[in-house]
Amino acid sequence: MSARFPNWTVGVSFVLGASVSLFVSLLALRSRELRLLTATPYQSESKPGSEETASRNNKTDGDDDGDIRKALVALNESAMTDLQRELQNTALWADLSTLFTRWGHLYPSRRRRLLQTRSLRSQECRGNSAQKQLHFEDLLSVPQGQPEILQPLAPEVTALLQQYSYPGSKLTGHDICSALSSALKSGKVLWSHFARAVVQLDEQIVVKLGPNISLIDANMTAHILKHSAEIPVPQPLGVLSLGGKVYAFMSLIEGRSLEQLWPGLSSTDKCSVQDQLDAILENLRLLPLPSKYLGGGNPPQCIDCRVWKRKSPESMESEVQFNKFLLSGNSRPSMEPYVEFVRPMLRENNRIVVTHGDLHPRNILAINDEARGGIRITGLIDWEVGGAYPEYWEFVKSLNTVRPIHLGDWPFFLPLKGMGKYYGEYAIDCLIDNCVA
C-alpha cells in the first residue's frame, strides 16, 4: 500500500498547512477569547455533560465536521495562553489561586455553551436551523398550503403522486399535499440529519427534503447529464416548495456511502476507488462551464462553507472577484492585518473548472460488485455547493470536512490525478480559515 502513498512532499505540505494554521490561530486567541466572553447565552440550559454524551452517541453529528472541535481547541488554547501569560508576568512560585478559580468558573460554562451549538457547519452549511434531531413523524410531515413548483415535476414523479391521490385528482394544491404526505409515509428513510432527510419513494425515485435546499444540486446534475454519460449523478426529477420546506425529487442511485464502506475496504479496494474517482473527476473537469460566471445556480453564486456558509452577494466573472469574496466577511478588526498578509498569496489566473465542492466519502455511493471485480462507484451526490470554481478548489474542499481525520487513511487515497495536487493552496486556505471564519 505504501507504494500508492504520495511522496514526502505530501507530508511536508500537510505539516506546512497545519503549522501555518496553528500560528494564525495563536495570534487570534485573544480575539476568540473576547468572542467567547461576549457570546449570547442560550435560552435552554441542559445538565452538564448531556450535550457531550449526545455528541458521542450521535455519530452522524460528530463525524460530519470538525468545527466544534476547532472551537473547543480554541477554548483550551485560550486557557493555556492565559496561564502562560500569568507565569511570564509574575514569579514562577507566585500564587495562581485567583487564576485557577476564575477559569474554574468560566471553563465549564464556556465548554457547555460550545457543545450546545452542536456542529455549526453541519447545520448552517446544509441550510439547517434546527437545534435538535426531529422525530421522523415531524420530519416527514407535509405542511398544508399551495405548493410552488420550482422546477417542473418529471412524468414519473407525477405518476407516483397520482398513485397516492384520489381518483380523478388533478394534483393541484391540497391534492399534492395529501399525495406527497402518503408517499412519504409509505417510503423508506435512507438518511436524515436534523431537519433534512432523503426518502426512497419507490424503486426508482427518492426525494431530498428540508428547509433551504438549494436548486444548485438539480442544476448541476442536469448540466452534467446533458454533457456526459460517464459521470454517475442522480437525474433531477423536479423540485417543489411547500410551507417552508423544499422537496427535490431525483432518481435513486444504488449503493451505500463510501463513509460506511471505507473502514472495511482492503488496500486493493481503496486503490480501486481512487482510480475510479480519478477517471470521474478528469471527465468532470473537461465539461463546459454552466455559464460565464463562477459558482453555481441561477443566478450563479459562489459558496464558501467553513464554520458557516457564505454566499457571494453577486455573480462573479473573474478570480479577482472570487478572491475578494474569500477574504470578505471578516468581523474581527484584529485580524485585518493578517487578511492583508494573505491577500497577495492568492493567484488570479487559475483555470476555472466544473467542481463538486464537497468530495467527502459521505457524498460518494458505491457497491461491492464481485461479478465486476470488487468495489464500484455508483454515484456522486449532494451538489449543493458545486459549480465553476478555480482548479484548486476541489482539492482544498475535499479536505475541508475531514479535519480532524475521521477516516484514517482517506486523504492518502484522494483522486489526485483527477483533481490535481494543490498543497500550497491548501496551506493558504488554512490561513483564510483562521482569518475569516
Q: How far apart are CA 116 and CA 132, in angstroms?
A: 10
Q: How far apart are CA 431 and CA 434, in angstroms?
A: 5
- Closest residue by Cα to residue 306 from 122, 111, 145, 83: 122
Question: How many percent of the chain have pLDDT more than 70?
Answer: 76
For residues 413 and 270, give the distance between their C-alpha atoms in angstroms, rounded to a whole number.
Answer: 7
Q: Which of 398, 388, 185, 172 is nearest to 290 (CA)?
A: 388
User: Hey, what domains does the chain have and what are their CATH numbers?
Assistant: 137-251 (3.30.200.20), 256-436 (3.90.1200)
Q: Which three cell numbers stand for residue 380?
A: 456522486
Contact 237, 157 (CB under 8 A): yes
71 vs 367, higher pLDDT: 367
Of 48-57, 129-138, 212-221, highest mean pLDDT: 212-221
What order of strands is seen across the sheet that includes strand 364-369?
A: 256-257, 364-369, 374-380
Q: Does residue 226 surpass a pLDDT of 60?
A: yes
The string of DSSP codes covering 296-347 is BTTTTB-EEESSSEEE-SS---SHHHHHHHHT-----GGGHHHHHHHGGGS-
| Residues 341, 368 contacting (CB under 8 angstroms) | no
pLDDT tens, 58-89?
A: 333 444 444 566 677 777 877 787 777 777 77
Residue count of the chain, please give it: 437
For all residues of the chain together, what is the average pLDDT?
79
Q: How many CB atoms lie within 10 A of CB 372?
A: 9
Q: How far is CA 140 from CA 172, 178, 432, in A?
A: 20, 12, 39
At residue 198, the 3 state secondary structure works out as strand
Whether the Cβ atoms of residue 327 and residue 319 lie closer than 8 Å to each other: no
Contacts of 324 (CB under 8 A, 6+ apart): none
362 three-state secondary structure? helix
Rounded mean pLDDT of 320-337? 83
Backbone angles phi, psi at 239, to 5 degrees: -140, 135
Q: Which of 33-37, 150-154, 238-242, 345-349 has the lowest mean pLDDT?
A: 33-37
Within the chain, what is the greatest distance between any pair of CA atoms?
87
Lowest mean per-residue pLDDT among 1-15, 53-67, 252-266, 403-417: 53-67
Angle made by CA atoms 330, 317, 419, in degrees to the nearest 5: 80
Distance in angstroms (rounded) separating the CA atoms of residues 17 and 430 = 6
Burial call 220-236: b when 16+ CB within 10 Å, e when fewer: bbebbbeebeebbbbbb
Tell me: the pLDDT tens digits for 146-190?
A: 899 999 999 999 999 999 987 777 777 778 888 999 999 999 999
pLDDT higher than 70, residue 144? yes
Q: Return the C-alpha cell found at 154.
A: 418529471
Measure the CA dihedral 401/403/409/414, to 10°.
40
Distance, CA of 425 to CA of 395 (rounded, Å): 9
Virtual CA dihedral for 107, 109, 113, 119, nearest 10 degrees? 40
Q: What pTM was estimated for this model as a whole?
A: 0.72
| pLDDT at position 330 | 64
CB atoms under 10 Å from CB of 129, counted, come to: 10
- Pick from 51-60, 91-100, 292-301, 331-340 the range whose average pLDDT is largest: 292-301
pLDDT above 50: residue 372: yes
Out of 114-128, 242-256, 273-287, 290-304, pick the least confident.
114-128
pLDDT tens per residue, range 296-322: 999 999 999 887 788 998 999 999 999
Burial status of residue 437 (CB atoms within 10 A of its CB: 0-12, 13-18, 19 or more): middle
